Amino acid sequence: MARPPVHEDVNPKQRQYEAMVRALSADLYRFAWWLTRSETVAQDLVQETFLRAWKNLDALRDAESAKAWLFTILRREHARLYERKRLEVVELDDNVVEDAAFASPERSSDAAQVRDAIGRLPDKYREPLAMQVLAGMSADEIAASTGQKPGAVMTQLFRARQQLKRLLGGRAAAEGGRT
């Protein structure tokens, strides 16, 4: 006797949740990685985000706003990591040479320079830029996720790009306007 497919027994709420997970987990992970620079912590953040989303799925009134809603949850989960935790501060010598055995080929590439420059941006510019570039979010979605007005987000994105140009030494202008 053949068993019916499992998905027939799944309620609509669970289907909605599973579709959200499939559609947005990669974007959430990329953003979490940009926030934390740690694969493990980023994975944990995404899991915590989806757990909190499952518990509060009834609060999501419009499926179209799921992306912004999940990014808001992720940002809050990331902030919670540091609420109670006091991080040790370790002074590093600026002249420390990176061990060549552990350096990836990408470290010496333009991508690494751009990534490092993005990492030096203040959070208020880095987060919206990462949301736009890594997750493909619109200014309206970023605004909904961060609780700001779209105009403020557009200003932050503009300033983020201007600071990146300065941090990269105007390299984009010197290379014929490519960014």
- Report whether pLDDT(101) > 80: no
Measure Cα distances from 175 to 115, 147, 170, 178 in Å: 18, 36, 9, 6
For residues 85, 99, 34, 48, the Cα torsion angle rounded to the nearest 10 degrees is: -50
The per-residue pLDDT for 177 is: 45
pLDDT above 90 as % of the chain: 31
Return the minimum-mean-pLDDT range out of 59-73, 100-114, 143-157, 158-172. 100-114
- CB neighbours of residue 25 within 10 Å: 16
Residue 175 has pLDDT above 80, yes or no: no
